[in-house]
A = this chain, B = another copy of it.
Amino acid sequence: MKLYSYWRSQASYRVRIALHLKDIQAEIVTLDLLKGDQHAPAYRAVNPEGVVPALILDGRVPLFQSLAIVEYLDEQYPEPRLLPADARDRAYVRALAQIVAMDAHPFIVPRVRKYLEHELGLDEPARTKWLSHWLDAGTRTLEHLLARDARTGLFCHRDALTLVDICLAAHVTSAIMLCGFDIGPYPAVRRVFDRCMELDAFTATHPLRQPDAPRND
């Protein structure tokens, strides 16, 4: 198995966590999204959208889109299961994951930051305000939902880790790295984040521990 990844990509991080949780070995192939590696013809042949991650299973048509990849892995490698057995609970976990993946994450990816800078000519403070606005909106929604729902436990859905915890932890990690986001005002989100960060699957696959991450030496 081969995963195309970029150290700071939130969506790549989600897949790395799922692979680690399920004890699946995958070769990591890094692309530098800021240098435009994702637009090279060789990668466009893998994923015409020119985004990461993409997962090659066995040389056949690759899988892409992180949530679809994680659901595939969960179906094929059921332990530990990342989606609840009950249909309504599953819909709830998917919905929370999608709040992160569809209503917060899209606004902070490199191609959008590039549009803001080069097409709209926004200066750095205006770009940071944009990032903070959407990161804040997504985090606030998660906080409201976790605070009101009786299903909130040690993790977002009761006491077992699911897809939404993966999304939450990767989201908070991105937010902190991108603009020093303060999760203090979001105690329920922070509690789940802290718990995730006690687990090897989240620390061993962390963006800053990737081979393409900037080095501090």
User: Which positions in A face B, CB cutoff 8 Å?
Assistant: 48-49, 51, 57, 61, 63-65, 67-69, 71-72, 75-76, 87-88, 90-92, 94-95, 98-99, 101-103, 105-107, 112, 115, 119-120, 122, 126, 129-130, 133, 141, 144-145, 148-149
A interface SS class = helix
Other than A61-B149, A64-B95, A65-B95, give 7 A-B pairs with Cβ distance below 8 A. A49-B144, A57-B88, A67-B102, A71-B94, A72-B87, A102-B102, A119-B130
Contacts of A144 in B (CB 8 A): 48-49
Q: Is the CB of B133 within 8 A of A115?
A: yes
Q: When chains A and B are docked, how far (Å) is the Cα of A141 from the Cα of B54?
A: 14
Q: Is the CB of A88 within 8 A of B63?
A: yes
Q: Is the CB of B101 within 8 A of A102?
A: yes
Contacts of A75 in B (CB 8 A): 87, 90
Q: When chains A and B are docked, how far (Å) is the Cα of A67 from the Cα of B102?
A: 10
- Closest residue on chain B to residue A138 by CB atoms: B49
Interface centre among A72, A95, A105, A148, by most B CB within 10 Å? A95
Interface centre among A63, A76, A91, A133, by most B CB within 10 Å? A91
Q: When chains A and B are docked, how far (Å) is the Cα of A148 from the Cα of B46?
A: 11
Q: Is the CB of B94 within 8 A of A65?
A: yes
Q: When chains A and B are docked, how far (Å) is the Cα of A67 from the Cα of B85?
A: 18
Q: When chains A and B are docked, how far (Å) is the Cα of A122 from the Cα of B121?
A: 11
Contacts of A149 in B (CB 8 A): 61
Q: Is the CB of A68 within 8 A of B120?
A: no
- Closest residue on chain B to residue A51 by CB atoms: B103
